[in-house]
Structure 1
């Protein structure tokens, strides 16, 4: 990613405050403050920062699931004013329909758009094969492991043919070994299926392994603290000198412990 090319997502002076009532007075919770961000076509951008700093809120704002208090968000030059099929989401939990097979889950978007059966089956099969679930087309989520369920969620997001895919800590609930494997899988998928991806994580190693660019966020009220262009050649080695040096630098930037267990892939 060279910093050039079409801007797919633009956030300008983005602010979000949540309001709640208690018995005595209204309470304000300012989550996002004057956030400015541009994401380019086919860029893999990682939003990284302290836990509970508002990363998921930023994704929900970009996806049109939450309205900003002030500021603007544009996707492909159009103001975001609600959800759209040009934006896909992969959630922290798999959020699959338990009564639907893998094929039906993956093809849900095209089927709801009225795409003809032959076309949606062909498209869904392509993404099922891409995420390594060939042979599981008729299986139901309850029969799948956590990693396999998340593969279904990723295939479903891609099958709807969005311009932008948001991924909200999709591997955070997986065990360490499965998480490693899923990081490798998502890198392979993204190399074959170019999309603008905005990925949220609080795992520094995951961020460095996957990202073209990492945007480090402040604690709440959240804004951009620093950006890192990740120029380490792919596939990346978690133990390389360049990787470990960058891990230490980013960990210090967000003012959390630099230990392997707390900042990286240690005991999860």
Structure 2
């Protein structure tokens, strides 16, 4: 799920990476090609494209469980992509979710899929800048992000803005890619084709930024090994099987297989790591 744009050359690189004209028609055509009925969709049939992060829907379920959810919350999904996680949260928590993304293409796709699933009353999507969120102070009970911060250059401002829109005592649930000790990232990867749109930090800096922004850790887990196992299983399963027409290549293009190979290499060589955490906003800003 992709972050909102920043007013810089780096932001332009990020926006270009995720630009996907005619996404709605591409998704509908691919659904038909994959043998699915766009007029009778089930949420699980969309997991191949609307859970745009390592381990897909399984990672969303785990992070939601770590959140220890309660019903009736107002949730903000920053970097919502095509809305898979926000729809999952709306069903699980019986809550309302607003998703924001830098990509108008993704937001339009998220709205279209939510309408076809009959969920428009529970979720809403809008294009927005993650560094200047269009909401008042303390507007949300939960902020949710998955694989977002890699594309955000000004992370200090990013986490401060998330804290601003959370109620005191509210929670941030995040699942992120951080830099590892194995050296520079091998490109292309799913979040960037070159270093111009990639801004990784290490675990120490990540936790310092959150503390500085006014968060305390409730749960924290390194899930790198789970991610590695998932990638290896996908590669073994794919083998000689023809590529499914309904997959993330719809969003990222024909070099997506190379991105996946590099993602696996980066994990194996400890160039990146995967972390999952839940943080609570302090009672005072």
TM over 0.5: no
TM-score (norm 2): 0.30
Greater gyration radius: 1
Flag the structure with higher helix content. 2
Flag the structure with higher strand content. 1
TM-score (norm 1): 0.31
